[in-house]
Amino acid sequence: MKLFEILKQDAAGMYHATEQLMQMVDTLDWKPSSGSNWMSTAQLLHHCAHSCGMPLNGFVNEGWGVPEGQSVDPGSDGEMVPPLEDVPAVTSVDEALALLSADRELCMEALSGVSDERLLTERSAAPWGGPPRTLFQHCSGMIWHLGQHKGQLFYYLKLQGKDVNTMHLWGM
């Protein structure tokens, strides 16, 4: 099995589980009541739908195509996270699902046919900083970036009293 096939398989599973969790959302304005600086569910869904394919495509094709209102450059304070009021949000679950589908397509297209040699030998630093890593590490990292936010969505649903369990978390 080629490395790009492994990445595609990992991404497919992550997108599948994220889609199933998104379909369980029935309120977009909810966010945890304790602590601070939480995204609303609408903001989290938007972020999930842009957290893998767009940045993965940026690494593979060296073209970032950042959606309007978003940036890959750290702010003047070095932080990647915009103020909470500036975080984009979806207006519906259907919009989130459509955006996630488009992100999935972009991810799969970017991964199709990338050679093992390129995945293992091409090294770069992310535009937001950090040490140079292999293309494989960057691609895997973007898949797990979606996974991190999928887990966040899982806990948002759990905190709302939804009947979710480990099987939902892993898309089974």
pTM for the complete prediction? 0.88
d(CA 48, CA 14): 11
The domain locations on the chain are 3-23+40-61+90-169
- How confident is the prediction along the chain (172 residues), in pLDDT tens digits per residue? 899 999 999 999 999 999 999 999 999 999 998 888 899 999 999 999 999 999 999 999 976 655 555 554 444 445 556 678 888 999 999 999 999 999 999 999 999 979 999 999 999 988 888 999 999 999 999 999 999 999 999 999 999 999 999 988 888 8
Q: Which CATH class is domain 3-23+40-61+90-169?
A: mainly alpha
Q: Would you state the structure tokens that stand for residue 139, as one six-digit string?
A: 């691609």
